[in-house]
C-alpha cells in the first residue's frame, strides 16, 4: 500500500459537469466523487500517514462547498445540518493536519539552520510529535465511531447514491498493531531532538554537581 491506497486501485477522476446537467445529478456527482476520495484515503489516515490525512481534509472542504452550492436543491435546513456534520468530521481531521503542516515547515526551515540552532528546535519538535500522536488517536476514534458512518451515509443519501463501503472495509483491514506502530513512530523524537534533550540533561546534571561541591 502506498499513500493509503491499495495497489491497483484507480484514483477517482475529477468532477466533470455540464450546464445541461440536472441539478440533482450534478449534486450526486459532486458528492459521489468526494465520498470515493474519502473511502480511498481513510485506511491510510487511520494508519497515521500524512498525505491521506491531507486528502481527507480536502474532501471534507469540497463536500461542504458542494452543500453550499446546491443549497437551493437540498433546502437551507438540510444543507446547513449536513454541513455542520461535515464540519465536525473536518475538525478531527484538521487537528492532525495542522500539526503535520507545522512539523513539515519546521523540518524544512531547520535544514537551513546551523546545527546549534537546529538542535534548539528539538524540544519543540518533540512536543509537537506528542500532540500529533494524541490528535491522531482522536481521529481514529472519530473514524471508527458510529457518528462518522452516519454522516457518510447521510451524505450519500442526499445525492441519491449508495455509500461506497470499500473505505470502511479497507480501514477495518488496518491492523491495530500497525496503527499503534505508526503512532509510536510519530511520537518518537528525531535524532536531533534526542541529542538536544540529552544535552540539556547533562548540563543540568553538571550544574547540580558544581553547586553541591561549592556548598
User: Is it the case that residue 23 has pLDDT exceeding 70?
Assistant: yes
Binned at pLDDT 50, 70 and 90, residue 162 comes out as: low
Instruction: Give residue 10's pLDDT.
Output: 47
b/e string for 191-214 if b means 16 or more Cβ within 10 A?
Answer: ebbeebeeeeeeeeeeeeeeeeee
- Quote the CA–CA distance of 94 and 104 in Å, as a whole number: 15
Instruction: Give residue 206's pLDDT.
Output: 46
> Judging by beta carbons within 10 Å of its beta carbon (0-12, 13-18, 19+), is residue 88 exposed, middle or buried?
middle
Binned at pLDDT 50, 70 and 90, residue 188 comes out as: very low
Q: For the range 150-155, what are the long-range contacts, defined as Cβ-Cβ under 8 Å and sequence gap of 24 or more?
A: 151/85, 151/86, 151/88, 151/89, 152/35, 152/38, 154/82, 154/85, 155/31, 155/35, 155/63, 155/82, 155/86
Asked whether the CA dihedral 134, 139, 144, 145 is positive or negative, the reply is: positive
User: Is it the case that residue 62 has pLDDT exceeding 90?
Assistant: yes
Instruction: Give residue 207's pLDDT.
Output: 43
Instruction: Give residue 24's pLDDT.
Output: 84
Q: How far is CA 20 from CA 17, 31, 100, 160, in A?
A: 8, 18, 41, 19
What is the separation of C-alpha 138 from the centre of its chain, rounded to a whole number of angstroms? 10
What is the pTM for the complete model shown? 0.69
Residue 95, Cβ neighbours under 10 Å: how many?
A: 18
Instruction: Give residue 106's pLDDT.
Output: 93
- Quote the CA–CA distance of 184 and 167 in Å, as a whole number: 24
Highest mean pLDDT among 111-120, 138-147, 168-177, 197-206: 138-147
- Biggest CA–CA distance in the chain, Å, is 88
| Mean pLDDT of all residues in 12-33 | 79
| C-alpha cell read off for 8 | 491497483
User: Is it the case that residue 34 has pLDDT exceeding 70?
Assistant: yes
User: Is it the case that residue 213 has pLDDT exceeding 60?
Assistant: no
Mean pLDDT is lowest, of 9-18, 126-135, 172-181, for 172-181
Asked whether the CA dihedral 157, 162, 163, 168 is positive or negative, the reply is: positive
Spatial CB neighbours of 184, under 8 Å, sequence gap ≥ 6: 133
Average pLDDT, the chain: 78
Binned at pLDDT 50, 70 and 90, residue 26 comes out as: confident
> Judging by beta carbons within 10 Å of its beta carbon (0-12, 13-18, 19+), is residue 161 exposed, middle or buried?
middle
User: Is it the case that residue 31 has pLDDT exceeding 60?
Assistant: yes
Highest mean pLDDT among 7-16, 76-85, 154-163: 76-85
Domains and CATH numbers, the chain: 23-208 (1.40.20.10)
User: Is it the case that residue 190 has pLDDT exceeding 70?
Assistant: no
Amino acid at each position: 500500500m502506498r499513500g493509503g491506497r491499495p495497489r491497483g486501485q484507480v484514483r477517482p477522476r475529477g468532477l466533470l459537469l455540464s450546464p445541461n446537467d440536472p441539478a440533482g445529478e450534478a449534486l450526486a456527482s459532486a458528492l459521489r466523487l468526494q465520498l470515493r476520495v474519502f473511502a480511498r484515503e481513510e485506511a491510510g489516515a487511520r494508519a497515521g500517514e500524512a498525505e491521506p490525512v491531507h486528502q481527507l481534509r480536502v474532501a471534507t472542504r469540497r463536500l461542504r462547498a458542494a452543500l453550499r452550492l446546491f443549497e437551493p436543491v437540498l433546502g437551507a435546513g438540510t444543507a446547513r445540518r449536513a454541513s455542520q456534520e461535515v464540519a465536525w468530521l473536518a475538525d478531527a481531521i484538521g487537528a492532525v493536519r495542522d500539526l503535520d503542516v507545522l512539523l513539515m515547515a519546521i523540518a524544512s526551515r531547520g535544514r537551513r539552520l546551523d546545527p546549534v540552532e537546529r538542535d534548539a528546535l528539538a524540544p519543540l519538535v518533540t512536543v509537537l510529535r506528542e500532540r500529533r500522536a494524541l490528535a491522531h488517536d482522536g481521529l481514529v476514534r472519530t473514524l471508527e465511531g458510529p457518528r462518522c458512518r452516519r454522516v457518510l451515509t447521510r451524505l450519500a443519501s442526499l445525492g441519491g447514491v449508495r455509500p461506497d463501503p470499500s473505505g470502511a472495509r479497507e480501514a477495518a483491514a488496518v491492523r491495530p498493531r500497525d496503527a499503534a506502530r505508526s503512532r509510536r513512530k510519530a511520537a518518537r523524537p528525531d535524532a536531533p531532538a534526542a541529542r538536544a534533550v540529552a544535552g540539556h540533561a547533562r548540563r543540568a546534571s553538571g550544574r547540580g554537581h558544581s553547586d553541591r561541591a561549592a556548598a
